[in-house]
Amino acid sequence: MDTTVFKKGEPIAQEGHFTYYVYRILEGEAQLLKNINGREVPILKLGKGAVIGKLSCLEEKRRLASTIAITDVKAEVISKEEFIKTLNELPTEIHSSMRELAFLLSGLSSVVGQLIYYRNSMEGKDLSTLSLKSVSGQLDKAPESIKMVYKSLIDDIINNYAKCGETLNEILRKLDGLKEGI
């Protein structure tokens, strides 16, 4: 088994770059980061057993996120060629299932990145200034159609975030059954 060490603060993988290696964390912690609207958004902390680079290998795409060591990280190194060769030796059903899971995870990762970005952009903002109560004096003078649109914007934001929560819970219930038997 080939291993390498990434020092604290050192990049392990760079979003948008091609994958040449897959890394399995043996010791230490890393931070998964996604570039959203020009900002590096922390998505997930990775620890022992986490595999970095699996999606880009399975989907044969550029890396979907960056990873940086937040402590010294010792990792097993698997070349992309070795990873693909081993994958191709598996039964077709397993290979196809892994690719489908990778597809689902890459889409979900983008959604999570966006949600975290929006949550972070709300931090430190006084959202009460956006409430109907805070603008009621000025909104009273506005036409009824504008009042309805203002309320509708707020309702739609609330409903969309609620739908995200419901959808994520539904996905979690479905995916939880996949772990059985592993």
pLDDT score recorded for residue 182:
63
pLDDT score recorded for residue 21:
92
Q: Which helix (H) or strand (E) holds 65?
A: none
Domain boundaries defined on the chain: 2-88, 92-179
Is pLDDT of 133 > 80?
no
User: Which residue type, as a one-letter code, is found at position 169?
Assistant: N
pLDDT tens digits along 27-43? 999 999 988 888 888 88
Measured CA to CA, the distance from residue 109 to residue 58 in angstroms comes to 15
Q: DSSP code of 18?
A: P
> Which CATH class name applies to 2-88?
mainly beta
- Mean confidence (pLDDT) of the chain: 83
pLDDT score recorded for residue 129:
62
Is pLDDT of 131 > 70?
no
Measured CA to CA, the distance from residue 50 to residue 52 in angstroms comes to 7
pTM, two decimals, is 0.69
Q: What mean pLDDT do residues 46-60 have?
A: 88
Pick the closest to residue 67 from 96, 40, 37, 95 (CA basis): 40
Tokens matching residue 51: 């595999």
Q: What is the CA radius of gyration of the chain?
A: 22
pLDDT score recorded for residue 164:
76
pLDDT tens digits along 154-164? 777 777 777 77
- pLDDT interval class at 7 (50, 70, 90): very high
- Segments of 7-161 assigned E as strands: 11-13, 21-27, 30-36, 39-46, 51-52, 66-69, 73-79
